[in-house]
Amino acid sequence: MHSSLTRIAAVLVASTMLAGVANAETIRWARSSDALTLDPHSQNQGNTHTLAHHIYETLLGRDNDGNLTPRLATEWALKEGDDTVWVFKLREGVKFHDGADFTAEDVVYSITRAKSEFSNMKQLHAEVESVTAVDDYTVEFQMAGPSLIYPNNLTNTFIMDKTWSEANDLDTVQDFASGATNYSVLNTNGTGPYTLVSREVDVKTVLTANPEWWGDAPAVTDIEYVVIADAQTRISALLSGEIDIVQDVPPQDIERLSSTEGFKVETGPENRVIYFGYKVSEEPLASSNVTDKNPLSDPKVREAFELALDRDAIKQVVMRGQSIPTGVANPPFVAGWTEELDAYPAPDVEKAKALLAEAGYPDGFSITLDTPNNRYVNDEAISTAYVGMLGQIGVDVTLASRPVAEHSPLILNGTTDFYLLGWGVPTFDSAYVFNDLYHTNDETHGTYNPSGYSNAEVDEMIISLGTESDEATRNETVAKIWEQVKADRVLLPVHIQVLAYAMRDGVTLPVQPENQPNMTTVTFE
């Protein structure tokens, strides 16, 4: 069976290669789900940003090692004598797709728009008080205090043309949650390497190279971005030559694809940690048979939960080796990560049982685990495996599996007792993790902290990071916070997810750690 399939595949590849010679510059690229909108500031979401980066550009970019790189801004520095002001020098001679010149006014307009009511990007610019155009190619950002890491927050905030936006009534960002729409949801005018040719939402988007782009002309001149939800159909499309690059490859198919002649798979760690969270407050759980208190408010129970988790077994069986087990809810790309934090205990069922008995639950207790089933690599399978591991220490877990659209409201509304989630860190700085996952859940912070964890000392340290001017002090505070939250067992990290892109031979798309690959980086052989 194996050899005949290989042969069929080889024939198919040969035929696509022949066909490919004539238009070697077109890339057909498949993913599991589409960009949610084309309004650049409406959704802070990976798939949406990935497509937008082809059409629009940001002030700063990031290379595959995680370093900041110049994009629409060529130089950036704190203002001499005033560490509350960032000065950006802009690239000259850049034109929008409609021919308008790119100037400082466009930056002022775009940042103001990204800070406005319905923008999903506004938390990244919370410390910006005002933006002023000093001249056509210099912009100053007045910050609330010294903000060392602010440039890191600019890598997903896209610059729009002020004149075009005003002419099309785009001052208000699309209110995505309420189903509102505006002109920029289906129409674009960026400075990026590609222009939009056509778009069929959830089906296909066609882009073509922008001849006026300031960068070196990319090897890929035309892009067909196709959405194929089912993993097996996606892989079949690649094998049959309908598609050149598949972005979301299930780990079980990596080996088969790499051993199939004519195809290859590029893998690399993603800047994203997968973890379990639970309620740690005293309040009784909604889904447990223990109704007078919360068993998980006892640190011993949380330690038992960690000792029951066999991270290496999950890596070996569920992830087929495609994950990096970790003991800290922080990917290694992020400033503040250390090897000591990353260490995790070996699983120990007997000790876990003893801890549960000590805490007063010799027969365990029951609880519901909420898991997404279409968001992260093998998310439901990871949760199912952990249900079994917890069963071995006597904890009776009901697994509730939902699509991500139904799962995330449970986290945001705090109506979950126990959940699986993944967290990517676009700023490459620990503060982004602390702000949303560890700070007390209030109006401005702790959006993704439904645990009820609230430690005034930790909160104070987290807030101080935003305006700390001394780098050494800041690093020290970051280390202290990590030590504290790890000791408190607020979250139970599982692993760092590994990305896999599959493609036909002759095409190479390197893995981008934020899973936002750009077709300008594709090379042909």
Which residues make up the interface to another protein (CB under 8 A)?
2, 231-232, 235, 250, 252-253, 255-257, 286-287, 310, 313-314, 316-318, 368, 370, 373, 380-381, 384-385, 387-392, 394, 397-401, 403, 406, 410, 415-417
E strand segments, 105-166: 128-135, 138-143
Closest approach, Cβ 388 to another protein, in A, equals: 4
Owner of token pair 């090692």: 65
Give 187 or 240: the residue with its C-beta nearer to another protein.
240
Tokens, residue 378: 């093998």
Tokens, residue 327: 């003991």
User: Over the range 175-187, which residues count as b (16 or more CB within 10 Å of their CB) and which as e?
Assistant: ebeeeeebbbbee
Distance CA 493, CA 486 (A): 10
Tokens, residue 130: 């005002």
Count the alpha carbons within 13 Å of 389 in the hemisphere toward its beta carbon. Answer: 22
Give 131 or 367: the residue with its C-beta nearer to another protein.
367
Closest approach, Cβ 316 to another protein, in A, equals: 7
Residue 160's nearest CA partner among 122, 88, 105, 223 is 105
Give 253 or 298: the residue with its C-beta nearer to another protein.
253
Residue 50's nearest CA partner among 58, 243, 74 is 58
Give 11 or 134: the residue with its C-beta nearer to another protein.
11
| Parallel/antiparallel/unpaired status of strands 138-143 and 128-135 | antiparallel
Give 314 or 334: the residue with its C-beta nearer to another protein.
314
Tokens, residue 441: 């859940």
Give 232 or 444: the residue with its C-beta nearer to another protein.
232
Distance CA 418, CA 399 (A): 10
Length of the chain: 525
Give 186 or 387: the residue with its C-beta nearer to another protein.
387
Closest approach, Cβ 343 to another protein, in A, equals: 22
The 10 Å Cβ neighbour count of residue 240 is 14
Closest approach, Cβ 252 to another protein, in A, equals: 4
Give 124 or 246: the residue with its C-beta nearer to another protein.
246
Q: What residues contact 223, with CB distance under 8 A and at least 6 apart?
A: 26, 27, 29, 54, 194, 205, 206, 207, 208, 519
